[in-house]
């Protein structure tokens, strides 16, 4: 498995990975929504607020993950949100997603990022260190449709403690339909 952070060279392949993966698992409407989100994240997010990691196997894109900055008005800690995450349907169940997430989180640790959050399945993401948090302790930038999916982890030796908000996300995520 090869990992890359060069997302600008493979924009169409990356967008297609997210669109097709989410179409297969959630339906055409969700696939279109997440494909468009991936395109907007790449096109509109300032480089300092975006980290993209892709996984390649024999020259084929098999997985991708986005991390975008969350800012908390009353808190100095550096926070990135991990979303969306996709592994090509034909390559799921092989641990690619978990290895890609671990790779991305390690890269954020090396950048001295304090906290990673995501909005997804606690059972799956719990395998890579994410724990449930309340929106009161870690405010979300939009109201959450599924609050049980708001999960986080400290990337430092410090325990995960409440963040002082309000929270602000990158423009592509500032859409209630995504929350």
Q: Average pLDDT of each block of 10 consecutive residues along the chain (179 residues)?
A: 91 97 95 96 97 96 98 96 96 94 97 96 92 93 94 96 94 93
Between CA 123 and CA 131 the distance in angstroms is 9
The percent helix, strand, coil of the chain (3-state, each to 5) is 40, 25, 35
Output the pLDDT for position 177. 87
Please choose, from the candidates 162, 98, 92, 107, the residue with its C-alpha nearest in 3D space to the C-alpha of residue 130. Answer: 98
Domain membership of residue 106 as a residue range: 2-178
Element (H, E) at 35: helix 28-44
Output the pLDDT for position 88. 97
Between CA 66 and CA 40 the distance in angstroms is 12
Output the pLDDT for position 14. 97
Output the pLDDT for position 165. 82
CATH number at residue 113: 3.40.630.30
What's the number of domains the chain is made of?
1
**Residue 22 CB-half CA count within 13 A:** 22
Please choose, from the candidates 52, 28, 64, 49, the residue with its C-alpha nearest in 3D space to the C-alpha of residue 141. Answer: 49
Between CA 127 and CA 103 the distance in angstroms is 14
Output the pLDDT for position 29. 95
Apex 54 CA angle, 126 and 28, nearest 5: 80
Sign of CA dihedral 176, 146, 120, 128: positive
């Amino acid at each position: 498995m090869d990992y890359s952070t060069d997302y600008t060279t493979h924009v169409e392949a990356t967008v297609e990975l997210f669109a097709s993966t989410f179409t297969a698992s959630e339906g055409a409407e969700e696939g279109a929504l997440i494909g468009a989100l991936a395109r907007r994240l790449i096109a509109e997010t300032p480089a300092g607020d975006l980290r993209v990691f892709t996984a390649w196997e024999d020259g084929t894109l098999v997985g991708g993950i986005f991390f975008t900055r969350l800012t908390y008005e009353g808190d100095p800690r550096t926070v990135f949100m991990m979303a969306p995450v996709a592994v090509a349907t034909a390559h799921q169940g092989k641990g690619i997603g978990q290895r890609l997430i671990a790779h991305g989180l390690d890269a954020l640790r090396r950048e001295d990022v304090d906290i990673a959050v995501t909005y997804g399945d606690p059972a799956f993401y719990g395998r890579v260190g994410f724990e449930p948090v309340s929106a009161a302790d870690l405010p979300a930038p939009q109201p959450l449709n599924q609050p049980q999916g708001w999960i986080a982890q400290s990337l430092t030796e410090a325990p995960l403690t409440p963040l002082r908000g309000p929270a602000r996300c990158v423009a592509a995520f500032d859409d209630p339909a995504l929350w």
